[in-house]
Amino acid sequence: MPRSKEQFEEMRKATREKIHSSAMRLFVHQGYGSTNVQDIADTAGISIGLLYRHYKTKEELFNELVAYAVEGLKRNITFFNESDHPPKKLITQFVNEVYSDLSHGEELANLLILINQSLLAGADTTSKQYKEIFQVNARLLDSTAQLIRKGQQCGEFRSGDAQEMAVFFYASIQGLAEMKVLFKNNFTVPSPSVITSFLFKERE
């Protein structure tokens, strides 16, 4: 029987997911410059011709992965800005998700490293994507700092410069992502309570 339109779409989606997963892993472990299209096709278990049906160049694929990661950052901004929940609950939920993602897979770690690669590995600083990444990162820091200030005002968070605390918070998560990729199965993700220990006041 000939395949239906829905079946073709499912196959197309599955192929793109294989390409994304393989490319992301190779870009992170080998670097963008050392990864070629044939490497990605081989790792994904598809022909190079099939890969080219989805992406004309390696750069196009890399940019799509970075755009996907940036959308995740935007969702975090919305989560922090638009929720009515107390600051401590929001940060706790966010950290629990980060802990779960880092504990059970590499996607989050790879995405965070991929964003840094796009900024550090000879990227075009005048490009629209480069500027967007910087703007989104700045907005995320500001949103988190604002949330920390609210937490300080209601007595849930430790005192200190909220902007500096936000920077430290994301630097810690970025560092954990890099250690996850470096040490692989020998790496144990610190518990959420350790990740937030600098931020939350201890119960009296």
Do 203 and 131 share a structural domain? yes
User: Which pLDDT score, from 0 to 100, does residue 123 have?
Assistant: 56
List per-residue pLDDT tens for the chain, 204 residues long.
Answer: 566 767 777 888 999 999 999 999 999 988 888 899 999 999 999 999 999 999 999 989 998 998 898 999 999 999 999 888 999 999 999 999 999 999 998 888 998 998 888 877 655 656 788 888 889 999 999 999 999 999 999 999 999 999 999 999 999 999 999 999 999 889 999 999 999 999 998 764
pLDDT at 2: 60
Q: Which residues pair with 200 in a beta bridge?
A: 157
Are residues 7 and 33 both part of a single domain?
A: yes
Residue 111 maps to which CATH number? 1.10.357.10
- Residue 144 has what pLDDT? 97
State residue 11 phi and psi, 5-degree precision. -65, -40
Residues 51 and 65 in one domain: no
The confidence score (pLDDT) of residue 4 equals 72
The set of long-range contacts for 29-38, using a CB threshold of 8 Å and a minimum separation of 24, is: 29/181, 31/117, 31/121, 32/58, 32/62, 32/117, 32/121, 33/121
157 vs 165: CA distance, rounded Å: 11
Same domain (yes/no): 178, 82: yes
- Which CATH number belongs to the domain containing residue 11 in this structure? 1.10.10.60
- Please answer whether residues 41 and 50 qualify as being in contact, where contact means their C-beta atoms are separated by less than 8 angstroms: yes
The parent domain of residue 52 ranges over: 1-56
Give phi and psi for 161, each to the nearest 5.
-70, 115
Burial class from Cβ neighbours inside 10 Å (0-12, 13-18, 19+) for residue 158 reads: middle
Output the pTM of the full model: 0.85
- Whether residues 43 and 71 share a domain: the answer is no
19 and 67 in a single domain? The answer is no
How many CB atoms sit inside 10 A of residue 45's CB?
Answer: 9
**Number of independent structural domains in the chain:** 2
The answer to whether residues 165 and 185 belong to one domain is yes
Residues 118 and 163 in one domain: yes
Residues 10 and 70 both lie in one domain: no
- The answer to whether residues 106 and 118 belong to one domain is yes
Same domain, 48 and 66: no
All residues at 6 or more sequence positions from 123 whose CB lies less than 8 Å from its CB, including other chains: 130
Give the residue from 13, 118, 109 showing the smallest Cα distance to 62.
118
